[in-house]
Chain A
Amino acid sequence: MSVNQKPQQPAVLKNGLDIGRLLLEGRAFLALIAIIIFFSIQSPFYFSLSNFLIMSSHVAIFGLLALGMLLVILNGGIDLSVGSTLALSGVFAGYLMQGVMIDSLGIILYPPIWVVVILTCALGAFVGCINGVLIAYFKVPAFVATLGTLYVARGVALLMTNGLTYNKLAGHPELGNTGFDWLGFNRLFGIPISVIILVIVAIICGVLLSRTAFGRWIYASGGNERAAELSGVPIKRVKIIVYMLSGICASIAGLVLTSQLTSAGPTAGTTYELTAIAAVVIGGAALTGGRGNTRGTLLGAFVIGYLSDGLVIIGVSAYWQTVFTGTVIVLAVLLNSIQYSGRAKKKSNP
């Protein structure tokens, strides 16, 4: 499901050196295995299917954000607003669930769940669209534009709830809006819905990147925007759509999280954007754009999720968790630069 970015090695190079390269390119996978082995030894509760499924449902939130972030980073940008968009989406869904009062008609609308989901995703797309237009047409640097929407979206979420949380999300059978908890709690064939959603989004993302013209355009304009433009790639449109997709991913994550917590709080998802960026980077994507794939990003999300949950299980303090997560991120970026500079050397000496 991923785009093969590995350069084909000439046969001469396939010697002992290649094992090192293999380790380097499969590092996220190896790191995940190392984490699983380590915590399985440390704790008898870690290595079990039910624990993996629970941890995976935690990973789903970061994974969804990271997939959207991957598209943006491949395109050469960055989206700092996803954490806030997640919170805004959750609050917006909660608001819809409470019933929408229309004063002029004197009625209260209780939209069914599927309408709530669609409207919430539309909101995420709208936030992403603002980012995209600012960046593509008004030439605002991506970092600054999305930093701005980070604050604005968070502020709107706080305004909507007056700083409080929406708790009554169960809905009423007589109003026909029950079932919101399905997203966060139910299972299909024993697998949490949130994990299934992550898998579906990942498959869509993978197909998009490897099998569509649009995916190629993301890679091309992230790798060299000027060259892509001269080759007829509509770089501005690509940019806007990429941020909209990131916004939609954040909304889906917001819906899942709200359902898992059975409450919609305006402070949910603070600093999640950084975790998402970390997952993408651990997955081997280059922050300069053009390099990376879905498989790596998913692995990156699982590395972060399984690591932090494992630390909780063996009872390491939350402060140490932060230290470990940071170390893993720096290590990942270090390996990225080794990998890409190795390629650059090959270039100059063919």
Chain B
Amino acid sequence: MNLPGTEQSVNKQESFGHVVLSARDINKSYGNIHALKGVNFDIHQGQVTTLFGENGAGKSTLMKILSGIETPTGGDIILDSQPIHFTSTVDARDRGISIIHQELSLAPNLSVRDNIFMGREITIASGIDYVEEERQTIKLMQELEEDINPLTLVEELRLGQQQIVEIARALSVNSRILIMDEPTSALSATEVEVLFKVIRDLTSKGVSIVYISHHLEEALQITDHAVVLRDGNMTAYGKRQEIDLQWIVRNMVGDNFNLGEPPQGYEFGDVALAIENLTVMDPAGSGYALVDQLSLTLKAGEVVCIYGLMGAGRSELMECVAGRLSNDTGNVLLHGKNISNLTIAERIALGLGLVPEDRQRDGLVQTMEVGKNLSLASMKAFTNWLFTVPKKEQALIDKSIQQMSVKTDGGHAAIGSLSGGNQQKVVIGKILATKPSVLLLDEPSRGIDIGAKAEVFKLLAEGAKQKLAVLYSTSEVGECLSIAHRIIVMRRGKIAAEFTSDVTKEQIMAASGESLVV
């Protein structure tokens, strides 16, 4: 038996850097989607290993496998030279592996103390030992230099503090391997400093850290090893001394990652969409502007990409233009007509359509079949007075299926029977069936494979040539370059930079705040 405690006591210095946990040839598929394709990954004792990759590269999936949340479709996990099979997260936790999730997994209605000890309460004869739990919570908060009362409800904390609680919970387990999936996305610079101090403290005690972050520079400060994932493949590995920012970006995005060129050979038309001085305040009432006095124009036939990190305000901008969120200042003009006060239905009727970011939550009606999903937004086209005309509807559905090349055995199939890419085509097809003149797409390539992505791009290029104005939001820099005539980088609700299509990937990423050096 190779216990961590004995190992450390034998010779602390010598054991540092050796591999404690490794993943060998890991595969993971969800239906037709291959999220991981034969990935190898090592975690070194007492050191920080950072995993780099764009959205959808498979980072979170790999971490879920290493922490027992998901089981791999193929491959081995080796802990202390022993092949191992996690049965659950509790199993992984008992073996000393814990994870800080990208999405917070706290119960907002419970106090900080109760959240930290959720599921492993300290019990004495009379029930839960609140005094001890509180003492430990206070100690953790001191360690993290955060002044939070253990009895405060989590919902009363701001997002960054909630993230601190999440981190404290992972720390409280005293694990030997700690996985941090985007732990700093809501933290202030000072809080990040404190977190890094805690990480250094932990590694000096022999704890191994896996770190995931989109803030490349920040990650470079703390990491010892770098692993890069792209489209489910491990593309590169390097030690801190051997790598720099350019190396990461090059391996993350890829050199020959090319989905085509922006459509060429025609003139743009008049301004189709004008956003003037638009502000959207946080609906939760934090007083923070999600979109901050933003202005931009979009011409007929033009494809504009909005690039930015998560939380940059891209989705809020899209939802506000489409009519789901109301704006606090400014106007949205569609072909010169102010549409700021119109309903979503009225905007669709005027030719503005949104393909939402989360197709399961906002795009599809899971209880309806493929055909009815496709025809949902354009019911007026086949309704006479009150009644729908089934023949006309079927014609519209058939046309959409053909136009979008949706792979389905007819319009009557259950929507859930389609692959992610085909589901996305249904969402896009639904909006295209309304014959829009301005199309908003919010991360349409999320969770779809490269083939489906290419088909979507082809459709957009064809649409643009027929004077469709496209506003395309993405967090994948490669996409910007292969479709956009113009690239707008958003950061904290504002336009941070604007580029034409001859920009480099590094310039775009630099402007978004992912790095400061170029």
Contacts and interface: CB of A to CB of B under 8 A. Distances in A.
Partners in one complex: yes
Interface of A: 4-5, 7-8, 10, 207, 211-214, 216-217, 219-220, 222-224, 226-234, 286, 289-291, 343-344, 346-350
A227 B367 contact: no
A232 B377 contact: yes
B364 interface: yes
A112 B504 CA distance: 81
A216 B379 contact: yes
Interface size of B as a range: 35 or more
A231 B416 contact: no
Contacts of B356: 227, 230
A346 B418 CA distance: 11
27 contacts: A4-B412, A7-B369, A7-B413, A7-B417, A211-B387, A212-B383, A213-B383, A216-B372, A216-B379, A216-B388, A220-B365, A223-B365, A224-B361, A224-B367, A228-B365, A229-B344, A230-B363, A232-B345, A232-B377, A233-B345, A286-B367, A290-B365, A346-B417, A348-B416, A349-B31, A350-B31, A350-B418
Q: Which of A224, A343, A348 has the most CB of B within 10 A?
A: A224
B454 interface: no
A290 B390 CA distance: 20
B368 interface: yes
Interface in B1-32: 31-32
Interface in B336-374: 343-345, 348-349, 354, 356, 361-369, 372
Contacts, number: 106
B409 interface: yes
Nearest to B319: A230
Contacts of B430: 231
B368 A231 contact: no
Contacts of B363: 227, 230
Nearest first, the 8 A-B pairs at minimum CB distance are: A347-B416, A290-B367, A223-B367, A232-B345, A223-B365, A231-B377, A7-B414, A232-B348
B392 interface: no
Nearest to B349: A232
A224 B365 contact: yes
B387 A216 contact: no
B60 interface: no
Interface in B360-410: 361-369, 372, 376-377, 379-380, 383, 386-388, 390, 409-410
B419 interface: yes
Given A7-B414, A346-B416, A350-B417, A230 B369 contact: no
A230 B367 CA distance: 16
Contact of A229 (B324, B379, B390): B324
B471 interface: no
Main secondary structure of the interface of B (DSSP, over half): mixed
B373 to A, nearest CB: 8
Contact of B414 (A207, A216, A347): A347
B425 to A, nearest CB: 15
B322 interface: yes
A86 B345 CA distance: 35
A350 B462 CA distance: 31
A309 B387 CA distance: 39
A74 to B, nearest CB: 9
Contacts of A229: 324, 344
A226 B362 CA distance: 5
A212 B388 contact: yes
Nearest to B427: A227
Given A7-B417, A8-B409, A348-B31, A234 B345 contact: yes
A213 B386 contact: yes
Contacts of A212: 383, 386-388
Interface string B17-54: 00000000000000110000000000000000000000
Interface string B406-439: 0001101110111100000000001000100000
A337 to B, nearest CB: 15
B376 A228 contact: yes
A213 B388 contact: yes
Contact of B365 (A4, A219, A343, A344): A219
A230 B344 contact: yes
Contacts of A348: 31, 416
Contacts of A226: 361-362
Contact of A291 (B364, B367, B410): B367
A231 B343 CA distance: 11
Contacts of A220: 365, 368, 372, 376
A350 to B, nearest CB: 5
A234 B345 CA distance: 7
Contacts of B364: 224, 227
Nearest to A8: B412
Contact of A233 (B32, B376, B416): B376
Contacts of A219: 365, 367-368, 372
A343 B362 contact: no
Nearest to B354: A230
A216 B367 contact: no
Given A232-B377, A343-B416, A346-B417, A222 B344 contact: no
A5 B414 CA distance: 9
Nearest to B358: A226
Nearest to B348: A232
B416 A216 contact: no
A222 B388 contact: no
Given A7-B417, A290-B367, A346-B417, 12 more contacts: A7-B413, A207-B387, A212-B386, A220-B372, A220-B376, A222-B367, A229-B344, A231-B377, A232-B345, A234-B343, A290-B366, A349-B31
Nearest to A229: B344
Contacts of B362: 226-227, 230
A349 B30 CA distance: 9
Contacts of B409: 8, 10
Contact of A227 (B365, B410, B413): B365
A218 to B, nearest CB: 11
Nearest to B368: A223
B388 A211 contact: yes
A38 to B, nearest CB: 34
B419 A290 contact: no
Contacts of B376: 216, 220, 228, 231, 233
Contacts of A232: 344-345, 348-349, 377, 434
A94 to B, nearest CB: 35
Nearest to A217: B379
Contacts of A350: 31-32, 417-419
A207 B344 CA distance: 27
A286 to B, nearest CB: 8
A230 B364 CA distance: 10
A212 B417 CA distance: 26
Contacts of A343: 414, 416
Contacts of A227: 356, 361-365
Contacts of B413: 7-8
A5 B354 CA distance: 27
A156 to B, nearest CB: 34
B316 to A, nearest CB: 14
Contacts of A347: 414, 416-417
A228 B375 CA distance: 11
Contacts of B377: 231-232
A204 B343 CA distance: 30
Q: Which of A7, A230, A234 has the most CB of B within 10 A?
A: A230
B371 to A, nearest CB: 11
Nearest to A236: B343
B366 A223 contact: yes
A212 B31 CA distance: 35
Contacts of B379: 213, 216-217
